[in-house]
Amino acid sequence: MMTAYAELMAFQRQTEALAQIAGRLGWDQETVMPPGAMHQRAEEKAAIEAVLHARRADPRLGDWLATLADKVQDPVMVANLRLIRRQHERATRVPAALAATLARETSIAQRVWADARANEDVAAFLPTLERIVALRREEAAALAGDGDAYDALLQDYEPGTSAAALTDMFGALRPHLVDLRHRVIDKARAAPVLTGAFDEAQQMALAAELAGVFGYRQEMGRIDRAVHPFSSGSGQDVRITTRTEASDPFNCIYSTIHEVGHAAYEQMIDPAHHLTPVGQGVSMGVHESQSRICENQLGRSRAFTGWLYGQMRARFGDFGITTEEAFYQTVNRVSAGFIRTEADEVHYNLHVLLRFDLEQALISGDLLARDLEAAWNDRFLADFGTAIDCPSHGCLQDVHWSLGLFGYFPTYTLGNVYAGCLHAALRAALPGLDDDLARGDPGPATAWLGENIRKFGGLYTPGELITRATGSPPDEGPLLAYLSEKFTTLFD
């Protein structure tokens, strides 16, 4: 039996290494790939995805899993077998040709999307989006069997959840968010704004410093610029990207802290798990909890922004804000902006709920790609009280759907809910947290996250993990309490 496990894990270790390579191809494409290499890159991605698919569907996996079923007690071994089985079942349900086609199409689609976004040209992206929706619908049908197609896609990102459960949770959130929004929006509009230009090289230098402050180990990573900030890789090579804009240093600062939350999660997983299924973050929702707690509950706190204010004055000189308190208001300004990744904490989840509803409709077939822009614009006007002025502020703003990522968006709000739970537990465990943050040192907080969440990788399910760390199952209550307290104090 131990021989079967050793054989299985030796095979799986190679698969994990190949998956790291495939992931790094994506990093390369977004950061350093020559623009003229698009078509060849699509073939390369299809080739490695075909290899990965063949390995994940390999009948030997089925044999090993059958041999080992119910014979293993060690929790790490149990978890690895559970994760391998899930991947194997998925791979055997999706035809290899479909997997390869999806890889090739999404590779090309990414560039088509970027061009369409740059040219404010929704029509240029539509045929591509239609193909990707059709392919993902086909995949969802293969995965779901008799079940719900969208639920089947959700399992790739947040195993164990369902559209129904999320709809309940989001339904509980929404009225409170809308209410909070109305309570604070007028006063928040009066928050001071930054003035002047912020040297982009200095922004990148500050990004590197903040990355270190939030526990990112750059000797096993790197920071580059990309259109859409992301974190990529596991184990010893976890890279992040950020972006800079001369007029808005917060874009770079908070994108960096956000991606460092993801990257440091991967970096703090027990190295004994490297290149095994357990050696990666357990779900997109838990991943997002790690990025959002760093970005918001820690990075946008009164204590930390006090320290950050001094850092920014030292780097950028005068930028029109004269006190820490005013700076705290500026950082936490609430306004109905167009862009999800730049949204404040009050509006952010409303952006996500919009996408969650629209992508469910795309996958069910209730919404056609050609009607997406109108549906987006109507919903945005209704929820945010503002009309979309151009597609890059609307349905072309996110890379996700061009990558075929349907079922991913709701994990952002789920991550915020988890972050709310973890933040409450963290505050209880570390009474001196604000003193640390005021010194620019989230180290004790990230160490607590390391010990209670990060080091475990995929050992526990998302629900188990949050329950172990906080003492209670995930619930939207702590997030709502945190938001309400923070923003009514700031702006009510």
The catalytic residues are 259
Instruction: Give φ, ψ of 472 to 5 degrees.
Output: -140, 155
For its own copies, the closer of residues 26 and 410 by Cβ is 26
* Chosen residue from 4, 7, 38, 477 binding its own copies by CB under 8 A: 38
Q: Residue 37 Cβ, how far from its own copies at the closest point, in Å?
A: 4
For its own copies, the closer of residues 17 and 134 by Cβ is 17
Tell me how far apart the 2 most distant CA atoms of the chain are, in Å.
68
Q: Residue 104 Cβ, how far from its own copies at the closest point, in Å?
A: 11
Instruction: Give φ, ψ of 166 to 5 degrees.
Output: -65, -40
Report the candidate in 87, 95, 88, 90 with the shortest Cα–Cα distance to residue 135.
95
* Chosen residue from 46, 84, 211, 399 binding its own copies by CB under 8 A: 46
Binding characters for its own copies, 356-395, by CB under 8 A (x = yes) = ----------------------------------------
Q: In what order do the strands lie in the sheet with 239-242?
A: 223-225, 239-242, 231-232
* Chosen residue from 217, 315, 427, 455 binding its own copies by CB under 8 A: 217
Contact 419, 265 (CB under 8 A): no
Single out the segment in contact with its own copies by CB under 8 A; choices: 187-195, 211-219, 299-307, 310-318. 211-219
For its own copies, the closer of residues 162 and 236 by Cβ is 236
For its own copies, the closer of residues 14 and 323 by Cβ is 14
Q: Residue 36 Cβ, how far from its own copies at the closest point, in Å?
A: 4
Read off the tokens for 447: 């160490």
Q: Residue 156 Cβ, how far from its own copies at the closest point, in Å?
A: 23
For its own copies, the closer of residues 3 and 73 by Cβ is 3
Q: Residue 29 Cβ, how far from its own copies at the closest point, in Å?
A: 10
For its own copies, the closer of residues 10 and 190 by Cβ is 10
Taking the CA atoms of residue 469, residue 474, residue 477 and residue 478 in that order, the dihedral angle to the nearest 10 degrees is 20
For its own copies, the closer of residues 18 and 165 by Cβ is 18
Examine residue 98 and tell whether it contacts its own copies (CB under 8 A).
Answer: no
CA distances from 363 to 133, 136, 167, 371, 405 (A): 7, 8, 16, 13, 11
Examine residue 240 and tell whether it contacts its own copies (CB under 8 A).
Answer: no
Tell me which long-range contacts 107-111 makes (C-beta under 8 A, separation of at least 24).
107/29, 107/38, 107/41, 107/42, 107/45, 107/46, 108/38, 108/39, 108/42, 109/402, 109/403, 109/404, 110/29, 110/30, 110/399, 110/402, 110/403, 111/35, 111/38
Examine residue 104 and tell whether it contacts its own copies (CB under 8 A).
Answer: no
Which residues are CB-neighbours of 37 under 8 A, at least 6 positions away?
none
Q: Residue 466 Cβ, how far from its own copies at the closest point, in Å?
A: 29
Read off the tokens for 68: 């080992």
Binding characters for its own copies, 247-286, by CB under 8 A (x = yes) = ---------------------------xx-----------
* Chosen residue from 86, 93, 187, 222 binding its own copies by CB under 8 A: 222
How far does CA 491 lie from the centroid of its chain?
A: 28
Q: Residue 55 Cβ, how far from its own copies at the closest point, in Å?
A: 9
Examine residue 58 and tell whether it contacts its own copies (CB under 8 A).
Answer: no
For its own copies, the closer of residues 277 and 478 by Cβ is 277
Contact 117, 392 (CB under 8 A): yes
Single out the segment in contact with its own copies by CB under 8 A; choices: 38-46, 149-157, 317-325, 387-395. 38-46
How far does CA 346 lie from the centroid of its chain?
A: 18
For its own copies, the closer of residues 50 and 172 by Cβ is 50
Q: Residue 440 Cβ, how far from its own copies at the closest point, in Å?
A: 24
Beta-sheet pairing, 231-232 with 223-225: unpaired
Q: Which parts of 12-31 interact with its own copies (CB under 8 A)?
A: 13-15, 17-18, 20-21, 24-25, 28
Q: Residue 329 Cβ, how far from its own copies at the closest point, in Å?
A: 38
Distance CA 157, CA 464 (A): 16
CA distances from 262 to 194, 265, 290, 341, 416 (A): 28, 5, 6, 15, 13
For its own copies, the closer of residues 14 and 247 by Cβ is 14
Size of the site for its own copies (CB under 8 A): 39
For the four alpha carbons of 25, 30, 33 and 36, in that order, the dihedral sign comes to positive
Distance CA 394, CA 375 (A): 10
Single out the segment in contact with its own copies by CB under 8 A; choices: 155-163, 215-223, 389-397, 411-419. 215-223
Which residues are CB-neighbours of 208 under 8 A, at least 6 positions away?
218, 223
Taking the CA atoms of residue 294, residue 300, residue 301 and residue 304 in that order, the dihedral angle to the nearest 10 degrees is 80
* Chosen residue from 26, 221, 391, 394 binding its own copies by CB under 8 A: 221
Q: Residue 114 Cβ, how far from its own copies at the closest point, in Å?
A: 15
Beta-sheet pairing, 239-242 with 223-225: parallel
* Chosen residue from 47, 98, 135, 204 binding its own copies by CB under 8 A: 47
Report the candidate in 322, 268, 329, 320 with the shortest Cα–Cα distance to residue 294.
268
Distance CA 412, CA 317 (A): 35
Interface with its own copies (CB under 8 A): 13-15, 17-18, 20-21, 24-25, 28, 32-41, 43-44, 46-48, 50-51, 217-222, 235-237, 239, 274-275
